[in-house]
A and B are shown apart, each in its own frame.
Chain A
Amino acid sequence: MELWLILAGMALVTFALRAAFLLLPPGVELPALFRRALRYVPAAVLTAIWAPEVLVQNEQLPAGAVAIAVAWRWRTTFATIIAGLLALHLFAWLI
């Protein structure tokens, strides 16, 4: 039962966020500070999700560094994941 509540809650919250500004009437303007603050949401939130898995004192740290370098240079998700996983196993074997 609780699981269904969680599912419904997650679905509602997520759709509300996705639809928020698309459903606002055309004339409505948003406060400038709010719009500027929203710009930083993806970088801050995404980093808060991956950083705890990468900033760990073992092979995850150097593997994360390799993944960051690959993402910086090639900007493709697939290459980043493959390079990061290979680096993880390489450093686990080395350390």
Chain B
Amino acid sequence: MLLGIIPFGVITGVAMVASGIPPLVAMLMSIFVFAGASMVASAQLLASSAPALLIVLTTLVINLRFMMYSASLRLHFADAPLGRRLAVAYLTADNVYGLMLARFSEHPGDPGKFDYFLGAGLLVWFAWQAAVLAGVLIGAGVPAAWRLEFAAPLAFVAMTIPLLRDRAMVAAALAAALVIAFSSNMPLKLNILLAAATGIAVGLAMERKKWNSG
């Protein structure tokens, strides 16, 4: 788990510095935003001097999945004190969420849920920040010939594939991929919004179809 986020963190740091974000701001972004995919996308948008509002909107779309995680984590932490809920919210990351879901489905009544979440979340947090810092410090020192920037999409492939457990989910991903493939000339990543909306609609439609035929 940690092995996966380290290369992703390093390239996130490299991407931010390469787009002209000062190292200190890059680290602050890593701490306050703490969401790699949106940081890589923002760095690319900044490099193409996109307007601030669009960058924030893109962040909203890319990080919409955290809303789904919070809906799911609510089932486990709804009665926890506010401070704990805020800590869970801040530490929610793709891999922490995945790990928690696996653990909580095996031990639904576990009284140590929060401690487990906090432990895994902090471990991922420190590993992530260290990796981003390494990337920020290396900066342009990585030879372009290594093509390390390809590690970012690869990290997302690794997060996506395990989600594709039923037909509706596969259809949602395929629809998103198709839309994005045929809308590449849309300005400034707005096609992510279109692809995501189409994918969600197709997933829901496939789900309904399954119910009708079953």
Which of A11, A47, A52, A60 lies at the interface centre, i.e. has the most chain B CB atoms within 10 A of its CB?
A47
* Bound CA–CA A71/B10 (angstroms): 20
Is the pair B164, A50 in contact by a Cβ cutoff of 8 Å? no
User: Is the CB–CB distance between A7 and B32 below 8 Å?
Assistant: yes
Closest beta carbon of chain B to A18's beta carbon, Å = 4
Cα distance A85–B64 in the bound complex, in angstroms: 28
Partner of B147, one of A14, A18, A42, A85: A85
Flag if A43 contacts B67 (CB, 8 Å): no
Kindly identify, within residues 23 to 37 of chain B, every residue whose CB is under 8 Å from any CB belonging to chain A: 25, 28-29, 32-35, 37
Instruction: Indicate the member of A13, A36, A75 with the most B CB atoms within 10 Å.
Output: A13
Q: Using a CB–CB distance below 8 Å, which chain A residues touch chain B?
A: 2-7, 9-11, 13-15, 17-24, 26, 30, 33, 35-55, 60, 63-64, 67-68, 71-72, 75-78, 80-81, 84-85, 88-89, 92
| Interface residues, chain B, with chain A CB atoms under 8 Å away | 1, 3-5, 7-8, 21, 25, 28-29, 32-35, 37-39, 41-42, 46, 52, 55-56, 59-71, 73-74, 77-79, 82, 85-86, 88-90, 92, 94-95, 147-148, 150-164, 168-169, 172-177, 179-181, 184, 191-192, 195-200, 203-204, 207
